Structure 1
């Protein structure tokens, strides 16, 4: 009878906790991708890096400027009839013809930094999606914990009523009743703790996904088609942190070349045309050639600094490789532990259920005490809680494996979202369009829509 009540109560709780229509993990991941302020922030940083390419490219183009001046001057020494005012308008242009390749190297370094920032954005995307997956599973875990605690509290209340009835007829002592009352109080405390954990996990879900959770569906672990060593090799060639570190090395090497080119002479073409208030026009065109002789050691210091930064970037690439390889190993280790724990929990639940049934039947025959029944029930509860936690840990660990390989992305997961194209903005600004050009006006409209 007691076991039938146990099954009925547990079934009722599960039915309430798992309605027919439920929200999938893919839905939550898609919303986290759409609603992430962190992704928006880093997309803006990528657009800023794109503009560095346009600005360094502009240094290789003609620079046209205008100037106008108007002055008034009167003196007792001025000849009679001299106008006290003068005006002048000048239009000038200059073009860098040669600077030892410094500007070209700076442009290429800016391009490498764009590629690095794109990989950083991929890394942020992985972090956002993994956080959402973890939040999803923690809400499911804590929801099931709350349901389990409520079911357990209902069962202990029934056990307490049974103990009181048996106490009334002299089958048990007051101690048995007190034990059941103490266990019920402890269960109420555990339920309150579980509800608190659920509330916290809901807030984390809201922060990670951008909205409150709905009725979350059951989730299977992510499919993995590589073993640990194959995954490690794949990660070392494809993880965004590795690719970002590679681009950082490239940018540092190009920056060093630009610093060395600063010692070279430069050639500039300059021209101007001006007219004064008397209508006199002046035109000039010339080539200037020059270079540094002494700069107080500034240029040499810049070279040493760029060399040190290149060495640091190379060391950073080495460290990134070590970190990625370790992350893959750790992720697979956690997955193995979670799988083993999940299997052990299934065996533990089966054994604990058998033990509980036996102890409960023996108690009805007077061979077991109320404490024995309560302890067996607690062991069954702990086994079920361990099983719930192990299942959630296995799912989270499987997605951590994907993240360690660099595959925790919207594209790889096939999320139903409009993915962000990191090259779209770059293609619009890479040629440094002017404001009045058709491309420049189109770019202004794009920026206005992004701001809105």
Structure 2
């Protein structure tokens, strides 16, 4: 079988030379605990009771949704709303938001640190060449006579190597690679948060716009009614109290409009920030709530896979890995170190003698250093790393619990808000019928105008609540996709800015496949 040759092999996104890879592959010989990823919790679901199909209601936001256990999450999950404007917002945010640029740079920084620290596994070789013209008085040697004038040509190539006998350096590189993994999942978390925030802000903007539209329609109707009552009062058909009551109702409705406009403006400013724009660069693009669609099928990942899908859990796991490796580093620091050194070169008074055997100079040395008495400093340093590992492990468990709670909250919100929307739609229909009946009774003289006013206010409240319930259904779907990890494992979020820069040194060849790469996600 032909062997494919590659310049370097990539481990966790970091290119390492052959020798460094071989030494890292021997990491089982290193002191300290060997990190093992945590298995997912052994539960069959996210909620105490079984999930049921949601209630249906009139309108696009009332689509009945069913939960599909074990279904994968799409990489571009926001497309389920079938809104080109939302897709345009997402593209702009991903291209322009500085948080993503910062996350890409942080990932490259961590990888560069890991690549730099691998040099500790290899010998250090330096070179030195010099030419010295020197005059030495004879008196300096206790003699008399003329001074000695000569030219000295000298070269030297010192080599130093400290074998990683107890694996302290390997554990340090392991910690660096875990830190790079942490930054990688921080990038995924930033991407997920940004995309979810963009969609949520767009939905909120559509909700505020619809509430403002409903309120303005109600204001127009109330103004027309005030004008009609004033005409009837002039004819003596109604009392002045009826006119004043309607004007008071109009004033109350008008008072609800500025808070909605303020909330929408602030939400628009937040949306612009997510897009990487300034508030003054708002071009007015907006999503219409009635044009959005709900997906009929919602994915529900297998609980054991959630710990591999949530970026925050993976980031917390990387911190546990880094803390585990740091225990090994601290343990190795308590043990002796062996340093091997050698030097070879030439010294001659003439260039013609420079390469002769009489000009050769060399030395070989070995040394052992180790702690004898440090008043317990190294021991307590190691124990502090052990405590840090225990802390990271506890924080990992807390992050996992929070993640499962997020999914459960989203699932329950989807079911509850579907029932709420159904109830709000019915409430709006009933309020509209009640207003029509009250108006007819008032014209017939069988009820008071206060009854009509109350019916108007009830209908306005019902319409506003129905709009809020519609927006909540879309927002709940966003929250579910976000709580399940957002499908990052089905796309590539890394940009060239996150890649390690080439060192520009002579490459060390290694057969491709010599070392296994760590997969980004286990197979479903």
Shorter-chain TM-score: what band? 0.7 to 0.9
Structure 1 counterpart of 2:416 = 337
**Contact 1:108 1:254 survives alignment (8 Å):** yes
Following superposition of structure 1 onto structure 2, how do residues 100-179 of structure 1 map, counting pairs within 5 Å? 100-179=166-245
Cα gap change, 1:408 to 1:158, in 2 (>3 Å): farther
Tell me, what secondary structure is at the counterpart of 1:110?
A: helix
Tell me, what secondary structure is at the counterpart of 1:289?
A: strand
**Contact 1:29 1:129 survives alignment (8 Å):** yes
TM-score norm. by structure 2 comes to 0.70
Tell me, what secondary structure is at the counterpart of 1:268?
A: strand
Mapped partners of 2:507, 2:170: distance in 1: 26
Cα gap change, 1:410 to 1:158, in 2 (>3 Å): farther
Deviations 1:113-145 (A, max 9, x none): 222222222122111111111110111011111
Q: Which stretch has the larger CA shift, 44-53 or 400-409?
A: 400-409
Are 2:247 and 1:181 equivalent residues in the alignment? Answer: yes
How far the C-alpha of 1:225 sits from its partner, in A, is: 3.4
Are 2:262 and 1:200 equivalent residues in the alignment? Answer: no
Cα gap change, 1:438 to 1:104, in 2 (>3 Å): closer
How far the C-alpha of 1:438 sits from its partner, in A, is: 8.2
Tell me, what secondary structure is at the counterpart of 1:97?
A: coil
Tell me, what secondary structure is at the counterpart of 1:272?
A: strand
Structure 1 counterpart of 2:93 = 32
Structure 2 counterpart of 1:243 = 314
**Contact 1:239 1:404 survives alignment (8 Å):** yes
Mapped partners of 1:53, 1:63: distance in 2: 17
Tell me, what secondary structure is at the counterpart of 1:38?
A: helix
Stretches of structure 2 that go unaligned for 5 or more consecutive residues are 1-81, 509-524
Q: Number of aligned pairs?
A: 407
| Cα-Cα RMSD | 3.1
Structure 2 counterpart of 1:47 = 108
Mapped partners of 1:223, 1:90: distance in 2: 75
Mapped partners of 2:210, 2:489: distance in 1: 28
Structure 2 counterpart of 1:78 = 140
Cα gap change, 1:273 to 1:405, in 2 (>3 Å): same
**Contact 1:355 1:376 survives alignment (8 Å):** yes
Structure 1 counterpart of 2:126 = 65
Structure 2 counterpart of 1:401 = 480
Structure 2 counterpart of 1:446 = none
Structure 1 counterpart of 2:503 = 434
Following superposition of structure 1 onto structure 2, how do residues 215-364 of structure 1 map, counting pairs within 5 Å? 215-217=286-288, 218-222=291-295, 224-226=297-299, 232-274=303-345, 278=349, 281=359, 283-294=361-372, 296=374, 297-364=376-443
TM-score norm. by structure 1 comes to 0.80
More helix by share: 1
Q: Which stretch has the larger CA shift, 192-201 or 42-51?
A: 192-201
Mapped partners of 1:22, 1:118: distance in 2: 30
Tell me, what secondary structure is at the counterpart of 1:286?
A: strand
Within the candidate set 447, 451, 459, 1:380 is matched to 459
How far the C-alpha of 1:188 sits from its partner, in A, is: 2.3
**Contact 2:97 2:276 survives alignment (8 Å):** yes
Deviations 1:194-221 (A, max 9, x none): 2222211111110112343513143233
Structure possessing the higher relative contact order (Cα contacts under 8 Å, 6 or more residues apart): 2
